[in-house]
Amino acid sequence: MRPELPVSPGDVEAARARIQGVAIRTPLVPAAELSERTGAQVSLKLEGVQPTGSFKVRGAASKIRSLQAEAAVRGVVTASTGNHGRAVGHVARSLGVPATVCVSEHVPPGKVRALRGLGCDVVVGGRSQSDGLAAADDLVSTRGMMLVHPFDDREVIAGQGTIGLEIAEQQPEVSTVVVPVSGGGLISGVSVAVKAACPRARVVGVCMDRGAVMAASLKRGHPVELHEEPTLADSLQGGIGTDNRFTLAIARALVDGVVLVTEEQIWKGMRFVLDHYRVVLEGGGAVGVAALLSGRLAGSGHVVVVASGANAEAAQIAALARGDATPPTSPA
Ligand SMILES: *Cc1c(COP(=O)(O)O)cnc(C)c1O
């Protein structure tokens, strides 16, 4: 018997109603070449076509719609490596709520520009996502803003979990769901939904080997902190929080494993999806493809890969289009 988890399948169903009209139901597309390479029947869940280019709009909509009356008055605040902040900005603007985003100095300039373009107040400072979160907490206590946490929040987790509901409907035979992992909001929500609908399906996380905080935390059984290094998967940077409340517990209970991929494998994954499907994925969105292509993750049966985001930097997209064997050096 499983102990009661902080987010239930019913919570995810409720989130589905809240995100209606803000996030879309994304396509699940068969990936023939990837299937040939791996011997599994692989399909890609294309979250990059969401408004703002990543799945983060699901969690943001679920959270902001759950607190709309209060948030509308005081405004919302968050910390983000980019995609979450952008999603919060988009959802807040569409609901007429003021939004402030605290980001670290490592966030690529294109992502900061995009946030300001969405009408967000952007506060740049600190070295890591933890520093950004501290700045956001500060605005919560000094100005009474409402925090929209990037992952460790029950409504955010339930919102991300709506991907799992869609996967279970689009591919009821699914045997493995492959999910990029950073703070773990995405994989916790997806696991809750998928394991309820398809109890025999495995849920496997993928993370870059440069700072695999969730993998290390699962191994130790408590949140660990790791030094942040530059990576192609910048949207997966950041810790799980030393005071992690929800995502580690859910991941411990439901996630079947986490595999790690190298920078080279991530770049190959990005090149593969552009070459074969004319799909742009950012590094963090391509780690699942990278894990399968490299053989770090063996697939069989129906494998669904969550391609979580499309927000690659323009220089990366140009290099991919040229077929460059190595990524451009990062602007950071
Ligand atoms: C945020 C993000 C992730 C990881 O989500 P967590 O809930 O933090 O684990 C994966 N891919 C992309 C593109 C993201 O923006």
Q: Is 53 in the pocket of ligand 1 (CB under 6 A)?
A: no
Measured CA to CA, the distance from residue 50 to residue 58 in angstroms comes to 9
Of the residues 147, 180, 195, the one at which a domain ends: 147
Q: How is residue 316 written in tokens?
A: 């990366």
If one residue of 57, 153, 157, 186 were mutated to test the ligand 1 pocket, choosing by the most ligand atoms within 8 A of its CB, it would be 186
**Domain identity same for 132 and 234:** no
Binned at pLDDT 50, 70 and 90, residue 33 comes out as very high
Best CA proximity match to 62, nearest among 84, 39, 29: 84
Q: Is 81 in the pocket of ligand 1 (CB under 6 A)?
A: no
Give the pLDDT confidence score for residue 2 in this predicted structure: 62
**Domain identity same for 304 and 181:** yes
Q: Is residue 226 part of a domain?
A: yes
Q: Is 56 in the pocket of ligand 1 (CB under 6 A)?
A: yes
If one counts the domains in the chain, the total is 2
**Domain identity same for 263 and 275:** yes
Measured CA to CA, the distance from residue 117 to residue 280 in angstroms comes to 22
> Which atom of ligand 1 approaches the CA of 187 most closely?
9
Give the pLDDT confidence score for residue 184 in this predicted structure: 98
For residue 200, the 8-state DSSP code is T
**Domain identity same for 140 and 206:** no
CA of 325 to the centre of ligand 1 (A): 25
If one residue of 44, 47, 50, 54 were mutated to test the ligand 1 pocket, choosing by the most ligand atoms within 8 A of its CB, it would be 54
Give the pLDDT confidence score for residue 330 in this predicted structure: 58
**Domain identity same for 164 and 22:** yes
- The number of residues making up the chain comes to 332
Q: Is residue 168 part of a domain?
A: yes
Q: What residue's CA is closest to ligand 1, atom 10?
A: 180
Rg of the chain over Cα atoms, rounded to whole angstroms, equals: 18
CA of 181 to the centre of ligand 1 (A): 6
**Domain identity same for 71 and 168:** no
**Domain identity same for 50 and 73:** no
Q: Which residue has the higher pLDDT, 156 or 71?
A: 156
**Domain identity same for 28 and 162:** yes
Measured CA to CA, the distance from residue 26 to residue 10 in angstroms comes to 21
Q: Is residue 332 part of a domain?
A: no
Give the pLDDT confidence score for residue 332 in this predicted structure: 45
Q: Is 159 in the pocket of ligand 1 (CB under 6 A)?
A: no
Q: For residue 307, is pLDDT > 50?
A: yes
Binned at pLDDT 50, 70 and 90, residue 107 comes out as confident
Q: Is residue 110 part of a domain?
A: yes
Give the pLDDT confidence score for residue 127 in this predicted structure: 86
Q: Is residue 2 part of a domain?
A: no
Q: Is residue 64 part of a domain?
A: yes
* CB of 190 closer than 8 Å to CB of 161: yes
User: Which H, E and C letters describe 111-155, residue by residue?
Assistant: HHHHHHHCCCEEEECCCCHHHHHHHHHHHHHHHCCEECCCCCCHH
Q: How is residue 252 written in tokens?
A: 């411990």
Give the pLDDT confidence score for residue 104 in this predicted structure: 85
Q: Is residue 111 part of a domain?
A: yes
Provide mean pLDDT across the span 306-332.
Answer: 90
**Domain identity same for 212 and 130:** no
Q: Is residue 128 part of a domain?
A: yes
Measured CA to CA, the distance from residue 134 to residue 117 in angstroms comes to 24
**Domain identity same for 165 and 313:** yes
User: Tokens 């399948």 map to which residue?
Assistant: 9
> Which atom of ligand 1 approaches the CA of 309 most closely?
13
Chain segment 159-185, per-residue pLDDT in tens: 999 999 999 999 999 999 999 999 999
For residue 297, the 8-state DSSP code is S
Residue 78: domain span: 56-147
Residue 206 vs residues 63, 118, 231: alpha-carbon distances, Å: 25, 30, 14
CA of 160 to the centre of ligand 1 (A): 10
Residue type, 115: L
Measured CA to CA, the distance from residue 62 to residue 176 in angstroms comes to 26
Q: 312: domain CATH number?
A: 3.40.50.1100
Percentage, residues of the chain above pLDDT 90? 79
**Domain identity same for 39 and 85:** no
Across the chain, mean pLDDT equals 93
Chain segment 282-305, per-residue pLDDT in tens: 999 999 999 999 999 998 999 999
Best CA proximity match to 257, nearest among 295, 199, 202, 298: 202
**Domain identity same for 46 and 73:** no
